[in-house]
Structure 1
Amino acid sequence: MALPSSSKIVIIGGGIIGCSTAYHLAAMGQEVLLLEKAALTSGSTWHAAGLVGQLRSNANVTQLLGYSVELYAKLEAETGQATGWKQNGGLRLACNQERWTEVRRQATTARSFGLEMELLSPQEAQDLWPLMDVSDVVGAAFLPTDGQANPSDIAQALAKGARANDAHLVEHCPVTEILTEDGRLTGVRTTQGDVACEKLVLCCGQWTRDLAATIGVAVPLVSIEHQYMITEPMGVPSDLPTLRDPDRLTYWKEEVGGLVMGGYEPNPIPWAVGGLPDPFDFQLLESNFDHFEQITELALPRVPALQEAGIKQLLNGPESFTPDGNFILGEAPEMENVFVGAGFNAFGIASGGGAGMALAEWVANGAPPYDLWPVDIRRFGTPHRDLDWVRARTLEAYAKHYTMSWPAEEHRSARPYRRSPLYEILKTGGAVFGEKLGWERPNWFAAPGELAEDVYTYARPNWFKAVAREHRAARETAALFDQSSFAKFILRGPDAEAALGWVAANRVDVPVGRVVYTQMLNDHGGIECDLTCTRIAPDAYYIVTGTGFAAHDFHWVRRSIPKGMSAALEDVTDAFSVLSLFGPQARAILAAVTAADVSDAAIPFATAREIDIQGRAVRAIRITYVGEQGWELHMPIEDAPVIYEALLKAGGPLGLRNAGYRAIETLRLEKGYRAWGSDIGPDHTPLEAGLSWAVKLRTDQEFRGRRALEAQRAGGVKKMLASFTAAPEVILLGRETIYRDGARCGWLSSGGFGHTVGRAIGMGYVRCDAGVERDYVLSGAYELEVAGERVPAQVSLEPLYDPGSERLRG
């Protein structure tokens, strides 16, 4: 067909993600043009294995994969194009007790999210998959709604469905340039001519990174060789479930009476390190039997018949993988109207239907259908522009694809990358570091004689006692936290107050020196950001948010400033260090190192004041995320070592102790403080999350999301965030199922232990379609399902620890 000169939306890439996005946009009545450099599916779709599993650790990503299953089940009837879809179920094996704990917790998570995953004995698993030896199997989980599909056929069916709704799909039309003007998208240049467009969607698989980089958009993915073996027919029944054997690093499916077997090696091989070849269409790499031998050796004891099977092919095809093993969706924060759907980590077929649906809604409506933070492109940041960093971390993520997914597990590769000026000092002091967005952050501090490294387990971890020490110091004496990795912005300009007043749900028309805790809401009232704003001048605010939300929150604030207003946002994260001093002795310690008045009258809660420590200027912000009196001390980054030493020297006699992020988590759970990305997010409103006190509904001030909150307040909420406690021996990690009066009503969004209250603690939403009120929540009898077992729990809508200490709202 002839290439049109313009289209409202242009999609680049004709694999399953591009075809699915085109299918869904066309179904919405959008004008769509898909451009493919060769033929549809010629990249990596055509050689994908085609397993379709649904369960992930996030409810919404699981929902997205469930949508794929629903779509594939009806797609052939709708389009007349064969898809090879079979809903034959999926088995997952456990071959040791720790893995069995993991699988049982996964089953609990599945049931929380509405998937009925069955737990099976080894014999029951073998009855479903007779070809395998189960002598080492402890147990298995079976998800009946999982299945498999033919990747090329699924993509072609989506393409046919897109064309039926007037989408234009043009093959053999490479895009040679993305056209921009004054930093704005205008169109694309192809070998057949230019096409103007309003919106661009990059679904180019492993080619996406390089193309996006030409306009300054970072898409952190790299190509890795991925192999699987196809046997000759060997009498395998066509309804055999797919099988995942993570302890042997392998997966299996039936194909034309034979088996497909692949795996994830601990020593993956990167591909195209020097650049992607051109052309590379419908091509494979040379089979690497030596490298695959380690997978074969693991697989043979599981399926002894494999030893006699004829091998039809060892298929080696490059796939795009990402640093955290999750795919990438959403609008690029660097350029408006440029969207990305890429990096599918060899499960693009499972994700394709749902990812295309979500991306289409994002493109058409400006937002995804629900919170998709785990796959949002804005979860990335500074280190993800460094290709060496991305490759090292991605190779680790690939190697961990089937290893145990331990609670609180940290990555080891590409570290250290970003360091506080206190890194070496804290390391000498016993700090055991974690990493967030490239930043090294103290998780906990080992005492002399203790092993200064994490030992992972589903039981009590080795850092439990150390965190208890730090927790008690914050409650009883004082604790010092290095939080230099906080993301920090300055909003400045004549219209700063008006602009922030529209974006923020709380009042920001406050005097200079006042600190405001606020959410920022979407048009549905959902919480997009959760942060503090300190007014530092009549025309300026200092905004502080979580480390991992730097790109997301900067993008949200900048894009939400109403057009025509004079206000500019600047990222100053790397300019300032933050030392957080909390505890009953915090004021005494601070008073010992400064001549400034730090009394309650001089610096009331939720205010900030400039003070001097050792001749260095410090912004002392009186705010808390642990529940005790204290300050965040913000200073030029080069001054941190001097100020840290002064605080430590003054605080030593008063019981000051270094503390890390794992203590912050236990402390905030006792206070019921919400964490964005788990307890609150775009799917949760302040009314549902118990944060209505931080919203200016009692004023006549307009703000984004106000109308939605007013409507919800009038109609009532259907879920309410609550805290739960259980016996001390219970291990709560988050995602455990909540039962009210014996009926499932939700799941925990976060979990841990409260060292002051001496109980396991979780937070989660109590849900009821008929509506939820305070009395409804408090009147129920509750249980939590933990790894398949139900345990009694107590519910609370108040802080579990509240002896009259500092509150977020002052």
Structure 2
Amino acid sequence: MSELPKKARVVIIGGGVIGCSVAYHLTKLGWTDVVLLERKQLTSGTTWHAAGLIAQLRASKNMTRLAKYSQELYSQLEAETGVATGMRETGSITVALTEERKEELLRQASMARAFNVEVEEISPTDVKERYEYINLEGVKGAVWLPHDGQGDPGNIALAMAKGARQRGAQIFERIAVNNIRVSNRRAEGIDWKDENGEVGHIQTEMVVNCAGMWGHQVGRMAGVNVPLHACEHFYIVTENIKGLPKLPVLRVPDECSYYKEDAGKILLGAFEPIAKPWGMSGIPESFEFDQLPEDFDHFEPILNNAVNRMPILAETGIQTFFNGPESFTPDDAYHLGRAPELENFWVAAGFNSIGIQSAGGAGMALAHWMNDGAKPFDLSDVDITRMQPFQGNSKYLFERSKETLGLLYADHFPFRQKATARGIRRSPFHHEMLAQGAVMGEVSGWERPNWFANPGQERRYHYRWKRQNWFENSASEHKAIRENVGMYDMSSFGKIRVEGHDAEKFLNYVGSGDFSVPIGKIVYTQFLNKKGGIEADVTVTRLSETAYLVITPAGTRLSDQRWLERHSVDFQVVITDVTAGEAVLAVMGPNSRKLLQMVSPNDFSNTNNPFGTAQDIEIGMGLARAHRVTYVGELGWEIYVSSDMAAHVLDTLLEAGRKLDLKLCGMHTMDNCRLEKAFRHFGHDITSEDHVIDAGLGFAVRTNKPDFIGRAAVLARKETGPKMRLLQFLLSDPEPLLFHNEPIIREGEVVGYLTSGGYGHTLGAAVGLGYVPSKDEKLSEILASNYEIEVAGCRVKASVSLKPMYDPLSIRAKDNIVSSV
């Protein structure tokens, strides 16, 4: 073995397909001082036993983009490196055994067209023609993706390792990292130990954690949270089947199974509904190309269905019963990006059994991120800053991992909630909300009322693709907000306090709005990157001369806080998460002012408390702060109250609200109301890849400030005009439902997809937002076109508008409108 260096620009920990991909892509960008350390032998963790399925279509545009990149890369690696990758474009078939699954497949096919993935809906007869061995019993329909494929996982990794070596990377096997030295929020180096007991240290500018199922443990060495847990993962390989031809990959998700033909044999794999977590006491240090004990009883239900589905299996012997561990994350999305705890510690781990198809794209994206200091495009689906600190808890990971493996093949119903590891983060209103009929959802661990059941109604979701059992409940809540007064719990939204001598100066640099405002003024704004993309969508309230409160979505609080912290080094400010310190009730609707006047002596008039201002108030016998803003498009206030007085304030409002027929509302209603008003949702309608001008948010940007992040990009786009227009669409047919990713059809051609969708109970049909290309076109021409939205393969006519279809002038939220009950 050659001698390990004392210094390196980057040390990559882990020699599976992910680590090899990161090394390959860094060297492709010109990095030569790259060191990869593997504790045993390359691919010896989970890569070597992966099934090697390579699918193109993922749940979002950019995840699909990364999967397609992987496939294209693997097809070229053999010519570049001389290592055979076994890449074959076999195509894939996914069949539905229920009408609900058929609807899901049809919607996925529509989404594929929006993402430029070739797809075809096929009949059971077509399935039989492509896969003669299948028993068509119960098959309702299917989709065919001709460019899906399969490859040799181990050789794909070794090919990328060879490519990295050819460009100067140093790869060392049988070197275990046993410590990561950290100082001043930076990883300064790693300590290593070989199998002979020799030890050493490598000083480095960056560390990348590609340690797979060891990723959680490696993260802990540096004080970094990498939530993942290993689970047992099963498949069998048959003996040779005489005359077996080359076959496409076959997926039967309703039976939790997939079938892959390989060298005259069938590999049958499973994603069983209740998984078996593994390695609760740590993964053995000796683990290398290891298998776990067989558990035939656990696999037997899958096999029984498979023998019926594939009758040839009944007369074919089993050559291999395989059980090997793979790592799964709390939300079934992998971890990629810079760790929030350190400035130079990067993560690519937790690939949820799709590591082979993801590795090429993930390695490429991370390498560009490391090289440029900025994401190459929106990666919010997998950005590790979405993970909350508590999600590293070992018991939480153990409980959640039982569910997440099976969810990969479960019905992906809209609004589906996780069933395990619940009830961890609760607002002070939680128990009273349950007593009032709340049916809870969960975001970032926060339990939040999604809808309220009527007396006697079952308090749980009945999932389906059509109208679910809470549809009319939400309609009633929606009506209360539009016509009377409704109230919902916003306590989960992130609250970040920015204070200090330079607080105003700092926010004027990091934010695109104007923060040189009076105390009590609320500023709606975005934090932009240098390209004018939106890194955060926030409201900022000036609390004092030296203190502001930044309100963020619950799921992006940590990410938004780290964005602030990383840009604060030249300013005298203190940035603190105070989310748990205050509970929040949103009181919304034409009678919201009347309700507040019943419980508070303060003045809520337009003169004293105009839209976009906050005031300290008395409420009941307690104290609170009332922010006059809205996310539902109606007159309303967000009431911020310290957690110790929260229950009293809720009781006070509920008691007074009886006289006005106050209705408690859930997050589904809030989302549908904001869609009618065309308010943007961060993570769907606006992301780091979406220019603030294209998103129609130029009104929130103040370019007269001398300097702020993204100013040049904003000025440039104002000069050229938008390249895209974020438009609102309303279906002409009141029956179909929209969620997101449905294709936008303009004059018969797919031009984009809906970034978000819901039901507009006031508008009378489903409504959505989506971008349409607008370069060198007049807005009038764009709006005059004929539009359709494709819903599960059917095209539905839609009207279109740049301005909100509901209350386009925002009169209701800003004027003194009071109705009587």
TM-score over 0.5 (shorter chain)? yes
Give 1:249's aligned amino acid: C
Q: Which residue of 2 aligns with 1:575?
A: 581
Which of 459, 478, 482 lines up with 1:471 in the alignment?
A: 478
| Mapping of residues 628-777 of structure 1, within 5 Å | 628-697=634-703, 699-726=704-731, 727-767=733-773, 770-777=775-782
Q: Which residue of 2 aligns with 1:26?
A: 27
Q: Which residue of 2 aligns with 1:792?
A: 797
The CA distance in 1 between the partners of 2:577 and 2:125, in whole Å, is 58
Which of 365, 368, 372 lines up with 2:375 in the alignment?
A: 368
Which of 576, 582, 592 lines up with 1:586 in the alignment?
A: 592
Is the contact between residue 383 and residue 390 of structure 1 (CA under 8 Å) also seen in structure 2?
no
Per the TM alignment, residue 777 of structure 1 is displaced from its structure 2 partner at its CA by: 2.3
Provide Cα deviations, 1:640-663, integer angstroms capped at 9, x if missing partner.
111111112222212211111011
Which of 127, 130, 134 lines up with 2:129 in the alignment?
A: 127
Give 1:469's aligned amino acid: S
**1:508 pairs with 2:515:** yes
Q: Which residue of 2 aligns with 1:615?
A: 621
Per the TM alignment, residue 399 of structure 1 is displaced from its structure 2 partner at its CA by: 2.1
**1:144 pairs with 2:146:** yes
In structure 2, do the counterparts of structure 1 residues 269 and 772 end up closer, same or farther at CA, with 3 Å as the change threshold?
Answer: farther
Is the contact between residue 612 and residue 628 of structure 2 (CA under 8 Å) also seen in structure 1?
yes
Give 1:575's aligned amino acid: G
**1:220 pairs with 2:227:** yes
Per the alignment, in what secondary structure is the counterpart of residue 723 of structure 2?
A: strand
Give 1:14's aligned amino acid: G
**1:297 pairs with 2:304:** yes
The CA distance in 1 between the partners of 2:437 and 2:777, in whole Å, is 47
Per the TM alignment, residue 806 of structure 1 is displaced from its structure 2 partner at its CA by: 5.5
Count of residue pairs the alignment pairs up: 807
Q: Which residue of 2 aligns with 1:487?
A: 494
Per the alignment, in what secondary structure is the counterpart of residue 472 of structure 1?
A: helix
Q: Which residue of 2 aligns with 1:210?
A: 217
Q: Which residue of 1 aligns with 2:610?
A: 604
Give 1:654's aligned amino acid: L
Is the contact between residue 382 and residue 438 of structure 1 (CA under 8 Å) also seen in structure 2?
no
| Mapping of residues 376-387 of structure 1, within 5 Å | 376-387=383-394
Give 1:630's aligned amino acid: G
In structure 2, do the counterparts of structure 1 residues 807 and 169 end up closer, same or farther at CA, with 3 Å as the change threshold?
Answer: farther
Q: Which residue of 2 aligns with 1:558?
A: 565
**1:433 pairs with 2:434:** no
Which of 328, 353, 358 lines up with 1:321 in the alignment?
A: 328
The CA distance in 1 between the partners of 2:705 and 2:627, in whole Å, is 29
The CA distance in 2 between the partners of 1:236 and 1:140, in whole Å, is 25
Q: Which residue of 2 aligns with 1:69?
A: 71
In structure 2, do the counterparts of structure 1 residues 635 and 305 end up closer, same or farther at CA, with 3 Å as the change threshold?
Answer: same
Is the contact between residue 218 and residue 385 of structure 1 (CA under 8 Å) also seen in structure 2?
yes
| Mapping of residues 396-475 of structure 1, within 5 Å | 396-475=403-482
In structure 2, do the counterparts of structure 1 residues 807 and 51 end up closer, same or farther at CA, with 3 Å as the change threshold?
Answer: farther
**1:243 pairs with 2:241:** no
Per the TM alignment, residue 451 of structure 1 is displaced from its structure 2 partner at its CA by: 2.2
The CA distance in 2 between the partners of 1:621 and 1:456, in whole Å, is 36
Is the contact between residue 332 and residue 339 of structure 1 (CA under 8 Å) also seen in structure 2?
yes
The CA distance in 1 between the partners of 2:652 and 2:460, in whole Å, is 28
Give 1:130's aligned amino acid: E
Which of 247, 251, 259 lines up with 2:266 in the alignment?
A: 259
Per the TM alignment, residue 482 of structure 1 is displaced from its structure 2 partner at its CA by: 1.0
Per the TM alignment, residue 669 of structure 1 is displaced from its structure 2 partner at its CA by: 0.7
Q: Which ranges of structure 2 fall in alignment gaps of 5 or more residues?
A: 194-198, 816-821
Percent identity at matched positions? Answer: 44
Per the TM alignment, residue 236 of structure 1 is displaced from its structure 2 partner at its CA by: 5.7
The CA distance in 2 between the partners of 1:507 and 1:681, in whole Å, is 21
Per the alignment, in what secondary structure is the counterpart of residue 301 of structure 1?
A: helix
Is the contact between residue 238 and residue 255 of structure 1 (CA under 8 Å) also seen in structure 2?
no
The CA distance in 1 between the partners of 2:113 and 2:142, in whole Å, is 15
Per the TM alignment, residue 714 of structure 1 is displaced from its structure 2 partner at its CA by: 2.1
Is the contact between residue 383 and residue 437 of structure 1 (CA under 8 Å) also seen in structure 2?
no
Per the TM alignment, residue 394 of structure 1 is displaced from its structure 2 partner at its CA by: 2.0
In structure 2, do the counterparts of structure 1 residues 21 and 806 end up closer, same or farther at CA, with 3 Å as the change threshold?
Answer: farther
Per the TM alignment, residue 808 of structure 1 is displaced from its structure 2 partner at its CA by: 8.3
The CA distance in 1 between the partners of 2:337 and 2:71, in whole Å, is 22
Provide Cα deviations, 1:596-631, integer angstroms capped at 9, x if missing partner.
111111111101111111232211111100011111
Provide Cα deviations, 1:283-307, integer angstroms capped at 9, x if missing partner.
1112222211111011111110011
Which of 81, 84, 102 lines up with 2:83 in the alignment?
A: 81
Per the alignment, in what secondary structure is the counterpart of residue 196 of structure 1?
A: strand
Per the alignment, in what secondary structure is the counterpart of residue 162 of structure 1?
A: helix
Per the TM alignment, residue 718 of structure 1 is displaced from its structure 2 partner at its CA by: 2.3
Provide Cα deviations, 1:282-332, integer angstroms capped at 9, x if missing partner.
111122222111110111111100111121101111000111111110100
Per the alignment, in what secondary structure is the counterpart of residue 709 of structure 1?
A: helix
Provide Cα deviations, 1:266-286, integer angstroms capped at 9, x if missing partner.
221111111111110111112
The CA distance in 2 between the partners of 1:361 and 1:684, in whole Å, is 18
TM-score (norm 1): 0.98
Per the TM alignment, residue 38 of structure 1 is displaced from its structure 2 partner at its CA by: 1.1
In structure 2, do the counterparts of structure 1 residues 613 and 341 end up closer, same or farther at CA, with 3 Å as the change threshold?
Answer: same
Per the TM alignment, residue 700 of structure 1 is displaced from its structure 2 partner at its CA by: 3.7
The CA distance in 1 between the partners of 2:435 and 2:745, in whole Å, is 46
Q: Which residue of 2 aligns with 1:334?
A: 341
Per the alignment, in what secondary structure is the counterpart of residue 357 of structure 1?
A: helix
In structure 2, do the counterparts of structure 1 residues 718 and 564 end up closer, same or farther at CA, with 3 Å as the change threshold?
Answer: closer
Provide Cα deviations, 1:362-397, integer angstroms capped at 9, x if missing partner.
221122221111111011114303221122122111
The CA distance in 1 between the partners of 2:265 and 2:459, in whole Å, is 49
Per the TM alignment, residue 772 of structure 1 is displaced from its structure 2 partner at its CA by: 4.9
In structure 2, do the counterparts of structure 1 residues 281 and 500 end up closer, same or farther at CA, with 3 Å as the change threshold?
Answer: same
The CA distance in 2 between the partners of 1:530 and 1:804, in whole Å, is 21
**1:161 pairs with 2:166:** no
Per the alignment, in what secondary structure is the counterpart of residue 262 of structure 1?
A: strand
The CA distance in 2 between the partners of 1:312 and 1:274, in whole Å, is 31
Which of 111, 114, 117 lines up with 2:116 in the alignment?
A: 114
The CA distance in 2 between the partners of 1:193 and 1:386, in whole Å, is 31
Give 2:729's aligned amino acid: F
Q: Which residue of 2 aligns with 1:170?
A: 172
Is the contact between residue 249 and residue 298 of structure 1 (CA under 8 Å) also seen in structure 2?
no
Is the contact between residue 717 and residue 773 of structure 1 (CA under 8 Å) also seen in structure 2?
no
Per the TM alignment, residue 776 of structure 1 is displaced from its structure 2 partner at its CA by: 3.3
In structure 2, do the counterparts of structure 1 residues 175 and 333 end up closer, same or farther at CA, with 3 Å as the change threshold?
Answer: same
Per the alignment, in what secondary structure is the counterpart of residue 790 of structure 2?
A: strand
The CA distance in 2 between the partners of 1:107 and 1:620, in whole Å, is 46
Q: Which residue of 1 aligns with 2:818?
A: none
Per the TM alignment, residue 131 of structure 1 is displaced from its structure 2 partner at its CA by: 1.4
Provide Cα deviations, 1:479-507, integer angstroms capped at 9, x if missing partner.
11111111101001111111111110111
In structure 2, do the counterparts of structure 1 residues 405 and 134 end up closer, same or farther at CA, with 3 Å as the change threshold?
Answer: same
The CA distance in 2 between the partners of 1:739 and 1:11, in whole Å, is 45
RMSD: 1.4
Per the alignment, in what secondary structure is the counterpart of residue 638 of structure 1?
A: coil
